[in-house]
Amino acid sequence: MTDSTFKPLPKDTDFDGNPRLTGVEIEYSGVSAEDTAKIATRVLGGEAENTDEHAWEVTGSEIGKIEIYLDTALRYADDSAAKKIGLDVGKAVIPVELVTEPLTRDQMVKLDELRDALRKEGAEGTRSGMAYGFGVHFNPAIASCNAEDITAPLIAYALIEDWMRKAEPIDLSRRVLPFTDPYPTDLVKAFCDAGVVEPARAMELYLEHAPSRNYGLDMLPIFAWLDEKTVRDALGDDPTSARPTFHFRLPDSRIDEKNWSLAMEWDRWRLVETIAADRDLLDRLMSEWLDQHGSITLRRSPWAERCGEILSDAGLVKEVDFA
């Protein structure tokens, strides 16, 4: 039986003292947008409305508004026969995306109930097909605009990313796509050298070494919220949504697996913030990362293994045998 408990983050309130909310996006196939809307109203209440030929919206549910649609840029093209044909033909490989409003942890438990209902109705996840590069995205609101609540989680993720990818590898169908690239080693080194700098300086380093949305942790929404002009100047025509939330898109969508849950992936993000809140542990990881990386880094595996040992010593994870 899966654990559906969404444990609190180390800092569980935002800068106004309100509970931190998290938007969630889930991609899958096997259940149409229309059927998803019907299942959502059955499980969570509310009313479903067909807003486009391939899009539905549920309002008044236990978790607020839910948008459900085929996840493709064709949806936003001018209405035409080509658009209709493209969407209809693409149903086989284009995922349905379910997008929530920002949720409390209690509401995320309800969303996990909907996820399980979709599984029982035949929803298929990342590992069900070679072309299924589906993911789950968490968008947790930041706790504050301070370095310890923006820069520290960024550095924590950068330091443990190799371990996360090795301990729970993402599916090949997503690895070959550009949406979840690992952070460049130059970026991790820059942060280890600089430390937990103010967010404005963190943004400069990020845009210098990783000016793209296509990472397992996309920081551009936060940086655009802080300074939209600087981000847009760096990215050119590559759009990003400015909002004070992390965009954690590393997890696969394993919606069809009985022993998987959204709560399991939430625990991975919670680990990032737990490390960020422990300055001694964060400093140790930065120091050991620098010790293990020379001027040229050819392999990531040795650091992944050493990182796992450090996290295990800290009592945060179970030791994983990578042999």
Three-state DSSP class for 29?
strand
Three-state DSSP class for 19?
strand
Q: What b-and-e string marks burial along 84-100, b requiring 16 or more CB atoms within 10 Å of the CB?
A: eebbeeeeeebbbbbbb
With a cut of 50, say whether residue 78 has pLDDT above it.
Answer: no
165-185 pLDDT, tens digit per residue, is 988 877 555 444 556 789 999
d(CA 275, CA 314): 10
State both tokens at 169: 């590898």
Residue 100's H or E segment, with its range, is strand 96-100
The better pLDDT of the pair 134, 114 is held by: 114
Mean pLDDT of 271-293: 96
pLDDT of residue 322: 59
d(CA 247, CA 244): 10
* Weakest mean pLDDT among 62-66, 135-139, 207-211, 292-296: 292-296
Residues of the chain with pLDDT > 70, as a percent, come to 83
Which residue in 115, 94, 101 sits closest to 29, CA to CA?
94
8-28 pLDDT, tens digit per residue, is 999 999 989 999 999 999 999
Domain boundaries, the chain: 24-123, 143-318
Mean pLDDT of 196-210: 97
* Weakest mean pLDDT among 41-45, 73-77, 160-164, 286-290: 73-77
